[in-house]
Amino acid sequence: MSRRIRITLSYDGTDFHGWQVQPGLPTIQGTLEEIIGSIEGGPVQVAGSGRTDAGVHARAQVAAFTLHNPIPTDNLLRAINRLLPPSIRVTETAEAHMWFHPRFDAVAKTYRYTLFRSALCSPFLWRYVHHYPYPLDEAAMIAAAPVLEGEHDFTAFAAADDRDNQEQTRVRTIFSSRFERVEESLVYTVRGSGFLKHMVRNLVGNLIEVGRGNLDAGALRQFLVPPVSRKSCPTAAAKGLCLQSVEYPPAPSD
């Protein structure tokens, strides 16, 4: 009998070429499919809530797959983690409805981007932050971040994607967009209905330009008004970004 399994996992994305399977390259999805397939004894397709870029990390990515193996979920968790590299860990396994899809059923995602502002960055932090010790008007960045909230066409903040032909709109809703100082870091937290390719890193790149004095909140707002005549500013480094959580509506009762 087929079973739909939902998992939550954390990973350090440094040594992977992103989520999506790429021939001959280490990816999160490819690693999971190989290991879960070995447990199943046949090919297994693992779907994720989103395709994190090369070098991007996750604290609570959500994925799902279909199994015929009757192994209990607790034993499955232990079996997967025993075979995974230490940079990936499954933190939760659960039975799900057969129609559950981690991407299409998600109602919100939260990402966090960390700019480390001190002159010296510890080697124990370096893999997980964007070290940016240069002058920035942090107050201007904090004030500009909420400009991105609301329902907008984020075309100016998106990279070309092979899914563009499948999706009719680049409109997304940002529920909250905030920068805050946390000790030696400037931390950007954004929660939205969904995100386009490179979108969060492009949002951060533009807010850095605000901090450098090259953009202001009004210019940032213009990128959200179609038709957009040009792309937004540079993309921030991948390693400062982490997928924090994925939210779903309450499970329907049987």
Reported as a single tens digit per residue, the pLDDT across 133-179 is 999 999 999 999 999 999 999 988 988 776 655 557 889 999 999 99
Question: Is 108-247 CATH 3.20.20.80?
Answer: no
Q: What is the pLDDT of residues 75-131, one digit of tens each?
A: 999 999 999 999 999 999 999 999 999 999 999 999 999 999 999 999 999 999 999
Considering 12, 53, 105, 153, which one is annotated as catalytic? Answer: 53
Q: Find the range with the poorest average confidence among 177-186, 227-236, 242-251.
A: 227-236
DSSP 4-70: EEEEEEEE-GGGSS-SS-BTTB--HHHHHHHHHHHHHTS----EESS-PPTT-EEEEEEEEEEE---
Q: Any idea where the domains of the chain sit in the sequence?
A: 3-96, 108-247
Q: What pLDDT shows up at residue 232?
A: 66
Closest CA to 118 of 102, 133, 105, 139: 133
Q: What is the pLDDT of residues 27-85, one digit of tens each?
A: 999 999 999 999 999 999 999 999 999 999 999 999 999 999 999 999 999 999 999 99
Assign 252 a pLDDT band (cuts: 50, 70, 90). low
Q: What pLDDT shows up at residue 163?
A: 60
Rounded CA-CA distance 65/73 in Å is 13
Type of residue found at 153: D
Assign 253 a pLDDT band (cuts: 50, 70, 90). low
Would 3-96 and 108-247 be classified into the same CATH topology? yes
pTM over 0.85: yes
- Per-residue pLDDT, averaged over 174-187, amounts to 97
Type of residue found at 10: S
Q: Count the helices and strands in the chain (H runs, E runs).
A: 5, 10
> Is 74 tagged catalytic?
no
Assign 248 a pLDDT band (cuts: 50, 70, 90). very high
Whether 230 has a pLDDT exceeding 80, the answer reads no
Fold of 3-96: Alpha-Beta Plaits (3.30.70)
H or E, element range at 83: helix 73-83
CA 200 distance to own-chain centroid = 8
